[in-house]
Chains A and B, each alone.
Chain A
Amino acid sequence: MPSNIVLVTGVSGELGGKLLARLGNNPDFERVIGVDTSPPPKRIIARMGNAEFVRADIRNPLIAKIISAAKVDTVVHASTTAHPPGPARRTPVKEMNVIGTMRLLAACQRSPLVRKLVVKSTAAVYGASARSPAVFTEDSPLMAVSPKGFASDAVEMEGYVRGLQRRRPDITVTVARFTSMIGPEVDTVTTRYFAMPVVPTVLGYDARMQLVHSSDALSVLELATVREKPGVFNVGGDGVLALSQAVRLAGRAELPLPMPALPSVSRLLRGANLVDFSRDQLKLLNFGRVVDTNLLKREFGYAPRWSTREAFEDYVQGRALRPVIDGRSLSALLRKVALPSTNEHVPSQ
């Protein structure tokens, strides 16, 4: 039986809002309800078709009433923020992530009509350390870097999801673990990080980065809602960029800092309202994280359209980031200096 009445959480976010708009314009659904504590942006509301917005807090017991009263059969939980883009107070975010998920899943368990659950999770659940394998598969153990970070919320949340699966085996559960999301329109910690003219990095480390374009993330969530795709899937673009390579591609200036200096720099950046450099994030800058996406391609049946590099270049172009250090002109200059004699022969077209 295909999905009929869908509830989407976290629609005030970029991804949740766009998902609401996509599902709202899909004639197969009878009703599409978006919930969040604040309404989606105006441009989303204008495009959201049949979808409706209900201002509700998933931490509030009211959510159970909405699910049962609207006869919701499919729940898309897209409100978890693994890495809030900017400085956010820890307590409300944690409450939203953990308590909100608990409430929502409790409501799903209670309502007999709910048959499908789609959860947006993060690849940060695998952690990042010198002891981690280079590439994580879906069955790698989940261990958050620090017990207090946002990644640990995601680990906890996935624990609740597994609990629900055990108690209600009839519900189809899809968990999508996204790598760092990037794109011209989304606001994530990654997009804010590379928007800074001078990018602090960890001296002596060059992390491997795997990115997922926001449009691919959106398609995966949509597919999971429309079709029956039970399981846990890593979602990330093909290919890997080194952090230093990405810094050059974006034309940023790299500022390598010794490891002990980074926490104070991160506090400074936090204070300046620029980017939230949490402990998880620092570890990511140290070691990086790459996930295996074979399961996504084979079983889920979706091949990301953007590779890591294309996604990153799209972000650089879409944001119209002006290079601080222009590698192209620098190397042209170097060529001119090193080979003064040959330049006169090269056509100046």
Chain B
Amino acid sequence: MVDRNPVSGSGPTSATSVRDARDEAQDGQSAQVIPLRSAERGGSQRRRHAAEAVEQYGGAAVVNLPGSADVPGQRVRVEPTLPGHEAGADEAVPEAVAKALDFVRGRLTGEYDIDEFGFDPELTETMLLPALRMLYDKWFRVEVHGAENLPIGGGGLVVCNHSGTIPLDALMTMVAVHDNHPKQRHLRLLGADLLFRLPFVGMLARKTGHTLACHPDAERLLRGGELVGVFPEGYKGIGKPFSARYKLQRFGRGGFISAALRTGVPIIPCAIVGAEEIYPKLGDIKPLARLLGLPYFPVTPFFPLLGPLGAVPLPTKWHIEFGEPVRTDLEDGDAWDDPMRVLSLTDRVRESMQQLLYERLAQRGGVFGN
């Protein structure tokens, strides 16, 4: 691979220095930046040019060469298009193509890792988040407020209002957290068992890091220092009629609060404004819902009237606001065992969410813009 280096043509001494530098680089962490710098220090016009050409694509199209496989435990990645100088830099592999090829290779050979919940970060970041981001940016034009309230590291429980007939709000919140957090953390959502019973949907939910809303899973994620998202209203919230929009429904049994108390993580109230109007639910065909095993069968102004076309969500303008965190580590050790305190904390969180919702509603210009 050294012979393929454009720099090696300029003389035996510099070639050795490049080789030495590269050997050093292989021992260290950074793979191929050092030899290029040393080449630049050599001074020749030609070399500087080559260095520039490579720096331009530095860190981009990096691929494992077969020869580098004998360095175990350390991924030494080598620029395959180093000869780009003579051959013309335009032949270099574009970053996106190389990344896509690496991704496909990983998928074909099974060389990727998932966690015990089935979360596949590579797939999520490469395929699913970009798809959701289009909806997020172009369709709903989501605006995020108060992202600084999300914890930088460690566990946290994000409690959101649920609405919109189809849980698009959950997906958008996931994108909002990932794209606005300085560390690009993934929000691990807790979903109903219906979600995991459905084919494809359940599979994708697991792969994007979501899991069943149950005590063991919630606590396990929080203890593992993950950012967990819950929608305590459940079906009551997402399937509420349009007339009840932005009115928080009863929270479940407050299990999520006791999970946060047990693990001592902060609770971040979150208000999602705009999701209520994407499918204004006017009615509910109960017999059909029972037949299909769904919690409700919605009737909106366009669905099922227009068929599949009616299933396109209305392009409302969304705001997602993260409120002041509520600390739970100040309570004493067995607060989770005291139902009174769990319930009062639940009410406190619920009130602050309702407050956030009303404030945000008062500030927004219209349903579809600003």
Contact = CB atoms under 8 A, between A and B. Distances in A.
Given A205-B199, A205-B202, 5 more contacts: A134-B117, A240-B115, A240-B118, A245-B114, A259-B199
A136 B117 CA distance: 11
Interface string A214-257: 00000000000000000000000001111011111100000000
6 contacts: A204-B198, A206-B206, A206-B207, A327-B108, A335-B101, A342-B93
B82 to A, nearest CB: 8
Interface stretch (B9-17, B20-28, B214-222, B244-252): B214-222
B202 A130 contact: yes
Contacts of A46: none
Interface of A: 130-137, 140, 202-206, 208, 210, 239-242, 244-249, 259, 287-288, 290, 292, 327-328, 330-331, 334-335, 338-339, 341-342, 345-347, 349
B114 A346 contact: no
A349 B108 contact: no
A242 B118 contact: yes
B196 interface: yes
A159 B64 CA distance: 54
Contact of B212 (A132, A330, A347): A132
A338 B67 CA distance: 22
B269 interface: no
A287 to B, nearest CB: 7
Contacts, number: 123
A241 B116 contact: no
Contacts of B115: 240
A245 B66 CA distance: 23
A330 B108 contact: yes
A204 B203 contact: yes
Given A246-B110, A248-B107, A135 B118 contact: no
Interface string B55-74: 00000000001110000000
Q: Which of A239, A245, A246, A330 gathers the greatest number of chain B CB atoms within 10 Å?
A: A245
Contacts of A345: 4, 80-83, 87
Main secondary structure of the interface of A (DSSP, over half): mixed
Interface in B40-93: 65-67, 80-83, 87, 91, 93
Interface of B: 1, 4, 65-67, 80-83, 87, 91, 93, 97, 101, 104-105, 107-110, 112-118, 120, 193-194, 196-200, 202-203, 206-207, 211-212, 214-217, 220
Contacts of B4: 345, 347
A263 B118 CA distance: 26
Nearest to B200: A204
B216 A347 contact: no
B116 A135 contact: yes
A210 B217 CA distance: 17
B116 A208 contact: yes
Contacts of B117: 134-135, 208
Contacts of B198: 204
A87 B14 CA distance: 69
Residue among A140, A206, A328 with most chain B CB within 10 A: A206
A341 B83 CA distance: 12
Nearest to A139: B216
A242 B120 CA distance: 9
Given A208-B118, A331-B105, A334-B101, A134 B212 contact: yes
